[in-house]
Amino acid sequence: MSELGEEVREGQLAWRGLRVLMAIPGSSLRVFAKRLGPGQELLSSLQEFVEEKQLKAPFIITCVGSVTKATLRLANATADNTNQVIRLQERFEIVSLVGTLNPEAHLHICLADKDGRTIGGHVLGDLEVFTTAEVILGEADELCFTREMDSRTGFPELVIQKRLEQI
C-alpha cells in the first residue's frame, strides 16, 4: 500500500469515526442563547423560539432574570382540580427555571421577592420580564419529545424517542 493509500485510510477512519460517535448512548446537544427585554412574556417567547427553530427535544439549561408578574399552578393541583392557581404581581428575581419545552412547555419556576423570600410552582404564564431574562436552551438533537395521555396521572406526559432521521 502506498503512502497515499495510508492517507486515504485516514479519511475513511474519520468518516467511520463520525458514525461511531452517532452510535454511542445518549444524544449530542446543541445550545441556543436568548435575551428577552422589558415587557416580553417568558413562556410564550420560549414557545415561539422553539417553533421558529423547529426544536424537537428542547429543555432549559439555565435562566437568569426578573419579572413583574407570574401565574403559577401550585402543588395540590391534579387533573381533576387544576384551579390551585396563584396570580402574583410584584417584582421577582428568577432564581430557578426548570423543564422541557416540546410540544407543550412543562416548566417550573422559583421566584425571590423584595425580601429574598421564594415562591415556586408550575408555570401557567404571565411571566412579564422586568429588566431582562437570559435563557440558555438545550436541544438533544438525536431525540424527539412528544406527549401522550397517561391514564395514571390524567395529564399528557413526556415521551422520549430516538429521532428517525440522523444528521
The answer to whether the CB of 159 falls within 8 A of the CB of 149 is no
Instruction: Please pick, from the candidates 40, 99, 103, 125, the single residue that binds a copy of itself as defined by CB under 8 A.
Output: 99
Q: How far is the CB of 41 from a copy of itself (least distance, A)?
A: 16
Tell me whether residue 2 or residue 44 sits nearer to a copy of itself (CB atom): 2
Spatial separation of the C-alpha atoms in residues 92 and 98, rounded to whole Å: 16
Q: How far is the CB of 34 from a copy of itself (least distance, A)?
A: 7
* The three grid cell numbers given for residue 31, joined into one nine-digit string: 445550545
Instruction: Please pick, from the candidates 40, 47, 112, 124, the single residue that binds a copy of itself as defined by CB under 8 A.
Output: 112
- Measured CA distances, 5 to 12, 15, 65 (Å): 11, 16, 56
Report if residue 124 touches a copy of itself, rule: CB under 8 A. no
Instruction: Please pick, from the candidates 4, 23, 80, 81, the single residue that binds a copy of itself as defined by CB under 8 A.
Output: 4
Instruction: Please pick, from the candidates 23, 81, 83, 117, the single residue that binds a copy of itself as defined by CB under 8 A.
Output: 117
Residue corresponding to grid cell 414557545:
47
Output Rg (C-alpha) for the chain, integer angstroms.
Answer: 21
Identify the CA nearest to 84 among candidates 122, 42, 44.
Answer: 122
For a copy of itself, the binding residues in 27-86 under the rule CB under 8 A are 27-35, 37-38, 53, 57, 59-64, 66, 72, 74-76, 84, 86
